[in-house]
Amino acid sequence: MVLCSCSNVAIIKTSWTDQNLERRFSCCPNVGSDCGTFRWIDPPMCQRSIEIILGLLRARNTLEEDIEEYLQMYREQQELVVQLRIYWVISGSRMVVNVTIGEVEAVFGVCVEDKELSV
Ligand SMILES: [Zn+2]
């Protein structure tokens, strides 16, 4: 247990700055105090390791953004499917709908009743 200059138990945090990625340090638990206690726990990383980790973090962030974008598209598609089903039930007629979502094209055909519908 390490005490800081103001006699509190120092806490351990992790730096996420570009130059000190995932590097742990101990400091005063009182945020904004003038205690001044600060000590690195982990040694600094070499520049190559920093570049690799930064690249991996950026790649992860891009994937997370892609996932969020696909989830939004999926939710919108589900809403369209619900709207189409409602329309089909209300109209009670035959219709064929071409739906293109992303790179996938699907053809939906429904015949609720045996009515002719000129499209
Ligand atoms: Zn302190």
How far does residue 76's CA lie from ligand 1's centre (Å)? 51
pLDDT of residue 119: 45
Instruction: Indicate whether this model's pTM tops 0.85.
Output: no
What is the spatial distance between Cα 118 and Cα 53, in angstroms, rounded to a whole number?
Answer: 61
pLDDT digits (tens, 9 = 90+) for 61-98: 999 999 999 999 999 999 998 888 777 777 765 555 55
List the strands of the sheet with 38-40, edge to edge: 11-15, 23-27, 38-40
Collect residues with CB below 5 Å from ion ligand 1: 4, 6, 8, 28, 35
pLDDT digits (tens, 9 = 90+) for 5-58: 999 999 999 999 988 988 999 999 998 889 999 999 999 999 999 999 999 999
pLDDT of residue 117: 46
> Going by DSSP bridges, is the β-strand pair 11-15/38-40 parallel, antiparallel, or unpaired?
unpaired
Residue 110's SS3 state is strand
What is the spatial distance between Cα 97 and Cα 87, in angstroms, rounded to a whole number?
Answer: 12
How far does residue 16's CA lie from ligand 1's centre (Å)? 22
How far does residue 37's CA lie from ligand 1's centre (Å)? 6
